[in-house]
Amino acid sequence: MMSKSPFKRMTVDEFHIKNIISTLHPIKMEHARYSISFYLSAAFISLPHRRKYDYMESVYTMKKTFTLSYLISVVLLFTFAGCRDNSELTAPVVNTGSADFTTFVSIGNSITSGYQSNSLYRDAQQYSFPNQIAQQVGANFVQPLISNPGIGGRIDLKSIDVSTGSVVLYTNPIDAGSPLNPSYAAPYNNLGVPGAVLADVLDTTSFTSKAAAPRTNPFFSIVLRSSAYGNSILAQAVKLNPSFLALWIGNNDVLSYAISGGVQGTYYVGSTAYPTPSSDFTDLYNQMISSISTTLPNSKVAVANIPNVQTIPFFTTVGPALAASLTKAGVSEIYYQKNNYSVSTTTPSDLSNFTTIITLKGSPYAPLIGTVTGQFYRDFGINPALHGVDTTKAFGVTSANPFPNLLVLDNDEQTLVNQTVSDFNTAISNAIRGKSNFIFIDVNKTFNEIRANDSTGTYFNGVIFRTAYISGGLFSLDGVHPSNQGAGIIANEFIKKINSSFGAAIPQINISTLPSSINFAKAQQYNRVGLPIVPPGTYNNALF
């Protein structure tokens, strides 16, 4: 649970033992229990039995035989207890109150799916927030597992320079993983689809068509597979007739606009991009809730809202570091391009307080400010002349070669994003008001509270968290999706609300037992600026 101070520190040995045991695969855990029981039995044979036998040899043969038989029986009892099939044991009964998890289903996007570090892969899917909830209540929860390192181009950590704090990242091939259970003969319980927007929940368009341009999203076909299971995300959920449904959708209706610096969106007027209009979002959300209420009248439903983008490190990492670098170099302002190709300026102070945001996608180009370069345009295959840019001029410090719009979320764009998030969250809470089977989880409030406490950190089960990139522990390496532990924190928010609303007593997840999400690559290199070294194009195929 959230608290201001950590619990009692464990010793080093306690820490290592706890983490070794907690990270064992369940099957291996059973093997560990077997080994412990077996060695206890062997010790009993070699010590108590032998000594008792030697003593009885000098007394009565009958008594000796009886004692030996007794001891052998005890030894066999211990041994067979150690060898027993623990799968036959009855799991502890969890009090779920009036909530029934006989059939637990989740609907959502990449966060629901367990997508981390720019990829959907098995090791992260195991810690998706709905799967962590399922583990707490003992529910069967089937997910569309993908072999490591997954699909999407997983980001791994190459190196970290402890003296400077700079890190180097590595991106795996986009299609390095493959589905592990595509022939599962029913809809998956986890229907989180990376890249899904609100409209996709009800959309009956062919799944395979979404793999083609302009969406180029393979996950609809991977997660939904066949219209025989239902021709939409909601239809497949309904086919399972869930007794409990987790619903978290709508993030991408604003996030796709924000992460692209306002260049791309879910709604267009001519060539100008916007987030999904609030009125459209409200209508679609109401339609979805109405459909769920009608088709699943007896289901309990937990609904989550949309976090503020300024709580995630994709938007909060580069600006302050760049501001410090510019100040040290005596640069008072830099130029950046806006959506209409006009040019504006921003100051180190603006970057520090996020009046102007440089996204994590801009990390490879921030160190190039002041040099004569067209690296960004080469990396993205863009003709700079079409944007009125002269790459023979110094990058970022001249109006002729400004910092690219794709990498900047300026104050006007932030205003639109913040208002949109507020409107969406109002629509979500209003849609379920007065519905006794529906509960509301304010994830936005939780993330805002953690962000507000970044100076001191927020403790969960003795582990400190901040929203900082990598070191904060809350987010994976793409700076958007929660880490294993971050997903556990989200799962606990659901559990707390379920407990308070439905009279349940589901135990919360011990966040300190969850493993890190950071994967290490082998090569080493360092940079001269205190920014993460993100290879160009790392986030180009990201599906949020």
Question: What string of DSSP letters covers 297-366?
Answer: TT-EEEEE-PPPGGGSHHHHSHHHHHHHHHHHHT---EEEE-TTS-EEEE-HHHHHTTSSEE-GGGTTTG
Which residues are CB-contacts of 4 (< 8 A; sequence separation ≥ 6)?
456, 459
State mean pLDDT over 221-226. 97
Q: Is residue 319 domain-resident? A: no
292-310 burial, b at 16+ Cβ within 10 Å, e below that, comes to bbeebeebbbbbbbbbbbb
User: In Å, how far are 309, 321, 358 from 117, measured between CA atoms?
Assistant: 17, 22, 19
The answer to whether residues 221 and 145 belong to one domain is: yes
State mean pLDDT over 171-194. 97
The answer to whether residues 68 and 113 belong to one domain is: no
| Residue 237: CA count within 13 A, CB half-sphere | 27
Element housing 62 (H / E): helix 61-83
The answer to whether residues 56 and 194 belong to one domain is: no
pLDDT 10s digits, 4-49: 433 333 333 333 333 323 333 332 222 332 222 222 222 222 333 3
CB 480 within 8 A of CB 72: no
Whether the bond into 149 is cis, omega within 30 of 0: yes
Give CA–CA dist 56/164, Å, rounded.
71
31, 59, 88 - which closes a domain: 88
Q: Is residue 218 domain-resident? A: yes
CB 121 within 8 A of CB 150: yes
The answer to whether residues 253 and 169 belong to one domain is: yes
For position 206, which CATH number holds?
3.40.50.1110
Stretch among 159-163, 349-353, 387-391, 490-494 having the lowest mean pLDDT: 159-163
Is the pLDDT confidence value at 477 over 90? yes
The answer to whether residues 452 and 502 belong to one domain is: yes
pLDDT 10s digits, 301-354: 999 999 998 899 999 999 999 999 999 999 999 999 999 899 999 999 999 999
The answer to whether residues 109 and 84 belong to one domain is: no
Instruction: Identify the pLDDT of residue 497.
Output: 98
Instruction: Identify the pLDDT of residue 167.
Output: 72
Both ends of the chain: CA-CA distance in Å? 27
pLDDT 10s digits, 421-470: 999 999 999 999 999 999 999 999 999 999 999 999 999 999 999 999 98
Q: How confident is the model at residue 408 (pLDDT cuts 50, 70, 90)?
A: very high
The overall longest dimension of the chain from CA atoms, in Å, is: 106
The answer to whether residues 108 and 160 belong to one domain is: yes
Question: Strand pairing of 458-460 and 2-3?
Answer: antiparallel
Phi first, then psi, for residue 51 (nearest 5°) are -65, -40
Domain count, the chain: 2
Q: Is residue 252 domain-resident? A: yes
The answer to whether residues 43 and 154 belong to one domain is: no
The answer to whether residues 213 and 260 belong to one domain is: yes
Is the pLDDT confidence value at 251 over 60? yes
Beta strands of 349-460 (E only): which ranges? Answer: 357-358, 408-409, 438-441, 458-460
pLDDT 10s digits, 356-401: 999 999 999 999 999 999 999 999 999 999 999 999 999 999 999 9
CB 370 within 8 A of CB 396: yes
Q: Is residue 3 domain-resident? A: no
Q: How confident is the model at residue 50 (pLDDT cuts 50, 70, 90)?
A: very low
State mean pLDDT over 42-67. 35
Q: Is residue 495 domain-resident? A: yes
Instruction: Identify the pLDDT of residue 517.
Output: 80
Instruction: Identify the pLDDT of residue 537.
Output: 61
- The residues with which 18 forms a beta bridge, in sequence order, are none
Containing structural domain, residue 62: 15-88
DSSP string, 179-227: BS-TT-SS--SEEE-TT--GGGGT--S-TGGGGSTTT--THHHHHH--G
Q: Is residue 258 domain-resident? A: yes
Instruction: Identify the pLDDT of residue 528.
Output: 47
Instruction: Identify the pLDDT of residue 14.
Output: 35
57, 88, 119 - which closes a domain: 88
The answer to whether residues 177 and 226 belong to one domain is: yes
Instruction: Identify the pLDDT of residue 161.
Output: 66
Element housing 490 (H / E): helix 484-502
Residue 4: exposure state from Cβ atoms within 10 A (0-12, 13-18, ≥19): exposed
Mean pLDDT of the chain: 84
The answer to whether residues 231 and 287 belong to one domain is: yes
Instruction: Identify the pLDDT of residue 42.
Output: 28
Q: Is residue 455 domain-resident? A: yes
Q: Is residue 232 domain-resident? A: yes
DSSP, collapsed to helix, strand or coil, labels residue 168 as strand
Q: How confident is the model at residue 160 (pLDDT cuts 50, 70, 90)?
A: confident
Instruction: Identify the pLDDT of residue 169.
Output: 86
Instruction: Identify the pLDDT of residue 280.
Output: 98
Q: Which of 156, 81, 82 is nearest to 117 (CA)?
A: 156
The answer to whether residues 214 and 152 belong to one domain is: yes
CB atoms within 10 A of CB 126: 17
Instruction: Identify the pLDDT of residue 66.
Output: 40
